[in-house]
Amino acid sequence: MIRGVQGPGAPFPVRVGNSPLTRAVRTAELAGLSGAEPDADLIEWDYGRYEGLTAEQIQELKPGWELWRDGVDAGEDLGHVTVRVDAFLGRVRPVLDKGDVAVVAHGHLSRILTARWLGLDASAARQFGHPHPGTINTLGYEHGLPVVLGWNVP
């Protein structure tokens, strides 16, 4: 969720963006977020050859591996994910003066989105705890500065 500046009677939310992957579409439906707009820029990081593997399994293949430092094998690099997230935020920021924007995305993508919202390098996403499924993370403004208003809220 990205909190906008709501005036009296502003609809909630003014926009819903979600990953077009089935699990995100279903989550938006279960959350009652009608009018969700599938957005390819919200698809989870393409893990390439690591897709479906746990961090422990990847460690067996590549000892010392760390996602945020080493990236993935034959998948998407962090720079490309950052470009996608920045493009999404560029489309969202102009509507925040009308109200909130709900975003239904995936764990690592949500962490990168948060880092970029705060103006941080995408690699700073490693410093945010992994969002638990079904929890709400809220971004917004405080005194005109982008902030995290809530993280992993049930």
Determine the pLDDT at residue 9. Answer: 59
Q: Coil, strand, or helix at residue 145?
A: strand
State the residue for tokens 């080493």. Answer: 70
CA angle 68-151-69, nearest 5°?
A: 5
Determine the pLDDT at residue 33. Answer: 87
Determine the pLDDT at residue 110. Answer: 96
pLDDT tens track, the chain, 154 positions? 788 766 555 667 888 899 999 989 998 888 888 788 899 999 999 999 999 999 999 999 999 999 999 999 999 999 999 999 999 999 999 999 888 999 999 999 999 999 999 999 999 999 999 999 888 999 999 999 999 999 999 9
State the residue for tokens 């690592």. Answer: 108
**1 neighbors 138 (Cβ within 8 angstroms):** yes
Determine the pLDDT at residue 59. Answer: 96
| Burial class of 33 by CB neighbour count within 10 A (0 to 12, 13 to 18, 19+) | middle
Output phi, psi for 5, to 5 deg.
-105, 100
Query: In the chain, what are the domains?
Result: 15-49+77-153 (3.40.50.1240)
